[in-house]
Amino acid sequence: MEGVLHAGGTPIVTITGCVIVAIRDDLDDQSVMHLQDELVEEVARRGARGVIIDISALEIVDTFAGRMIGSMAQMARMMNARTILVGMRPAVAMTLVELGMTLVGVETALNADKAMNLIVNDLPPVALAQ
């Protein structure tokens, strides 16, 4: 493990050039914004090739959290880091669709292990919202 940073109680871990963050279900709007700032700073500090955002703890996603996830991905892409969302529950996927959120540029993978494999091996995207 290359480094661990805590953003408002949420660990941001860097392994093999990938920044990994597991979003907790109890984050309020201010904590999500702080997490976004810390995540982007960590990508820049580490020169990360990829960002893995684990949302498996989330039972629901509101429009604010959805926009923040999309913003994190967009910022990471601007810094040349591939972003992969993992651990999406079916109810969360349905909610995002119902809210009309496409999360453009955010790839998905079943779990962090598969996402890490995609990034480390620089494989083509599995799913890319357009």
User: Locate tokens 């972003």: which residue?
Assistant: 83
Alpha carbon distances (Å) from 65 to 10, 56, 122:
15, 14, 28
pLDDT, averaged per 10 consecutive residues of the chain (130 residues), comes to 58 89 80 86 92 90 82 88 93 88 85 92 54
Alpha carbon distances (Å) from 72 to 36, 106, 121:
6, 10, 22
In this structure, CATH architecture of domain 3-120:
2-Layer Sandwich (3.30)
pTM for this one? 0.83
Distance (Å, whole) CA 64 – CA 98: 14
